A and B are shown apart, each in its own frame.
Chain A
């Protein structure tokens, strides 16, 4: 039954209503146009609502209707390849209904309710099912099989199940208690979807980005933050992860950021191939775009919409990765709403519950045994946009308390076009150890040593740089000068990676290993040569060194590396013979 109240006050996206008896987080329809809103506070007889659309022109006295339903998303086939706003309205549908500019008062459901899907059951009459079990499959895109799940809160015995072509509204079967089975179900976005139990993250998410995979790896089901000032590369790195990481499903949330960036993704993803399957990247992707100029309450909701969709695919047994660009804009949306509510502000005007909300969100990441006894994961990577690039601000600090990987972007590196501008001295990954076993088995038993040698070299470089700042590089002894040169090679030939270069953009894990090994081996040879009397100037001028610089632009590196290392041997031999 619908309860009708009326508007008392409108202040931007926050509307106060009288005479409705709604529950917290119920969806309500506000005003004559029925704008969508959500109950976010109840004070005496006043109900406080955040409205997901522009409230211009709405007047006190207009009606408010409680739908009695919490804010939910539609989960079923057709999510992939979609682009949604923060409350799961498909942007192409909004365009069709209201043109190139987003007007208000238009509702649109998340899934296409007319589209027919080929459903193949995997259960039969008499089967006893628990919540979250698979009842059948639909081929959703070229490569993704959509497992139709019984909603987590439903269980029973199958009374009827049909194979055939259905829309998401059609009844595909029944349980013995009469519950209708469909291809889709609803789930409230603010409630984490349940799993059987969480598992330790022991498998790396391979990203094809050398500084990530090589030095600061992320695990499938792990959490990472990319903080950095504007222009340091948050978005490019998030997009690189969305393109190249070896997740099976990608949920990309443009939360309060630029419209053109989303247009760019929409343009590019259908053209790019998933390196693992060769299928267009878009086929594994769900986009959520609630840009900075779209309503701020819907921005607040966008991360919940995104993570719920991610959990849904995890529940089918997929490895999902979710990028949120930027979580700071989400936090700011909370702040804007909170200040309209005249709540007591915490640090820098953010609501006191900021830390709790961030923790709840990242807690929804993880590798898990699903209700259907499969394994799936949700990896969460959040960009953080600290004001003035100052990492001591509340969003960065509260995020760092939760996430396990910290990829610190550095304006100074970005300014000199060292990309990715990840600071190798301040970044860290707490997954290193847990993942070592995987690297030993799948890449090489040398890998962990290579990594720690590289880190040591870079540390040593930083120490030497401090001295150089005081006395100049010429004053350093030869062996230290050589150390600096080898470290430079690691930085320029390995850590730098151009996202816009066809080949360099994605570097397979095995190539990363080979490249790093080649550089460090060259370095060892150089040290030997120096010891046998060669000069730093001559070593640095060797052609094999320049050749190493360009390896990252080569597709087939085996042959190239072979030539380079042969050349290196010849050159070093010549160097030492000269003496």
Chain B
């Protein structure tokens, strides 16, 4: 049993400063016993011969200078086991579902080591989410980290749930295991997720970690790490394909900011710590596929943009790390369009490796590019019309204006239970593009126009049928 110190010299916010210790290791796990016998956990942030700084995960409420501090001599670990599936745990990994303690098959460090870039296999397996704006224009692939950038009051949870329900890899039998980590969300929101998991039977293949809004903020710093450790275990030891949903990353970042302030660090941009990029990367980069291993970790986190501002440090730094972003638009939401995904600022950086012949369809890239260009042009014109009126537009421009409306109404809009396959999505794209003049389709190779454009398609049909017979 490690030696107990009663030498706390100072308590400041979530931090305690312990004096006169034997040498203590950096990042060590710390147990602190309160007068009432309860135990809190913490982690060493700074250690020297004179003073050791510890951050306390459950908060420092109830601590005093007499609290007993024990340094465990090891870093924080998560007991891992395939039995994690179906379990609901607290934000620090304690069972909340009244079930038995998890009998560990192993104990893994929650900080997780970086995947050697040489060991990574570039993600390329198309995940069909059944949502046109994602599959058609911001394609998700297995092993990607693609967050939803949203705002308060927007239906990001519905979208995340729809994806969790519908996501599949074409031609693959296995279903995704889901690791869900709630950080600082309300219990109502958490209920919403749990209800849907139960309704669809997803809970059996899910692990849930919940740190709610009224749980200590510092705990949020470990919740996603526990979740990702569980995900890595399921992926790399149990050979599962894991979808990790982290929500809300904004609350995680706020906790990080609080910790920085408590340590009186020099803040970076807008008060967030200068190391926030590196810290976030240590979470997001834990997605991927490893050569020679069967499982994979795909991340679909949710973050709310404070003030709907995409340049705010939280979405900004996230966007610099993740492999794209799905941006939810308040404007589309107000128009009553679900899912209100604004494709223009949205991006999937791994789309190109997941689409094309043999994966989705040969014309996919071109259709997507053309839809983008057309919609962007239409939106510009919408802005212009507000000033100069529709009459000032040329015939060509009017077509683009209408195209933008059609695009939102038919392509973006779909039902919450509507699961469109990729063929349907692409054909729908062509149908809309056909409302523009063919000469405007400059992003598309003629060979695809001849093969897929509705005007040519009917003409071609007979020849195609003949040749496949």
Residues of A bordering B, CB below 8 Å: 8-12, 16, 54-62, 83, 91-92, 94-95, 99-103, 229-231, 254, 256, 258-260, 262-264, 266-267, 289, 291-294, 296, 329, 332, 335-336, 339, 345, 348-349, 385, 387-390, 411, 415-418, 468-475, 492-493, 498, 500, 537, 540-541, 545-546, 549-550, 553
Contact = CB atoms under 8 A, between A and B. Distances in A.
Contacts of B396: 540
A390 B274 contact: no
B394 A474 contact: yes
A348 B75 contact: no
12 contacts: A56-B75, A57-B25, A59-B24, A91-B117, A254-B117, A264-B122, A293-B114, A339-B274, A349-B266, A416-B344, A416-B377, A545-B439
Which 9 residue pairs of A and B lie closest in terms of their CB atoms, listed nearest first?
A: A472-B392, A388-B311, A292-B281, A9-B48, A416-B376, A101-B113, A263-B120, A472-B388, A91-B118
Given A263-B117, A263-B120, A332-B278, A230 B387 contact: no
B316 A259 contact: no
B114 A291 contact: yes
Interface in B323-365: 323-325, 344-345, 347, 349-350, 352-353, 365
Contacts of B285: 258-259, 291-293
B278 A83 contact: no
Contact of B384 (A296, A472, A537): A472
B192 to A, nearest CB: 30
Contact of A259 (B115, B266, B267, B349): B115
A388 B319 CA distance: 10
A100 B121 CA distance: 11
Contacts of A267: 122
B27 interface: yes
A115 B373 CA distance: 53
A472 B393 contact: yes
A345 B266 CA distance: 8
B111 interface: yes
Interface string B428-446: 0000000000010011011
A212 to B, nearest CB: 21
B216 to A, nearest CB: 23
A58 B25 contact: yes
Given A258-B321, A292-B285, A472-B388, A546 B268 contact: no
Given A91-B117, A258-B285, A336-B275, A474 B392 contact: yes
Contacts of A55: 26-27
B387 A348 contact: no
Contact of B116 (A100, A469, A471, A474): A100
Contacts of B349: 231
Given A292-B321, A474-B393, A94 B116 contact: yes
B278 A59 contact: no
Contacts of A415: 344-345, 376
B26 A263 contact: no
Contacts of B319: 229-231
Contacts of A546: 439, 442
A103 B27 CA distance: 16
A289 B316 CA distance: 23
Contacts of A336: 274-275, 278
B462 interface: no
A298 to B, nearest CB: 11
A291 B387 CA distance: 47
Nearest to A393: B269
Contacts of B267: 349
B372 A416 contact: yes
Given A8-B48, A231-B349, A471-B388, A349 B372 contact: no
A294 B369 CA distance: 35
A541 to B, nearest CB: 7
B446 A550 contact: yes
Given A387-B313, A550-B446, A57 B74 contact: yes
Contacts of A493: 442
B265 interface: yes
Contact of B47 (A9, A92, A389, A553): A9
Given A10-B26, A473-B394, A387 B274 contact: no
Nearest to A390: B311
B276 to A, nearest CB: 10
A100 B290 contact: yes
B277 interface: yes
B376 A417 contact: yes
B402 interface: no
B224 interface: no
B130 interface: no
A259 B123 contact: no
Contacts of A473: 392-394, 397
Interface string B276-312: 0110011001101011010000000000000000011
A291 to B, nearest CB: 6
B123 to A, nearest CB: 6
B125 interface: no
Q: Which of B49, B121, B278, B373 counts the most A-chain CB atoms under 10 A from its CB?
A: B278
A103 B277 contact: no
Contacts of A416: 344, 372-373, 376-377
Nearest to B109: A56
B23 interface: yes
A339 B369 CA distance: 44
A473 B380 CA distance: 13
Interface string B24-41: 111110000000000000
A56 to B, nearest CB: 4
A267 B277 CA distance: 27
B111 A56 contact: yes
Contact of B288 (A83, A260, A329, A411): A260
Given A10-B25, A332-B278, A471-B388, 16 more contacts: A9-B46, A11-B46, A55-B27, A58-B25, A59-B47, A229-B319, A260-B143, A263-B118, A266-B117, A291-B285, A332-B277, A339-B275, A387-B317, A388-B311, A473-B397, A474-B394
A416 B370 CA distance: 9
Contact of B117 (A8, A291, A471, A475): A291
Q: Which of A16, A61, A474, A545 counts the most B-chain CB atoms under 10 A from its CB?
A: A474
A365 to B, nearest CB: 25
A411 B123 CA distance: 25
Contacts of B350: 260
A60 B48 contact: yes
A304 to B, nearest CB: 19
B118 A92 contact: yes
B111 to A, nearest CB: 7
B369 A417 contact: yes
Interface in B225-258: none
B119 interface: yes
A237 to B, nearest CB: 14
Nearest to A540: B396
B364 to A, nearest CB: 11
A259 B344 contact: no
A60 B49 contact: yes
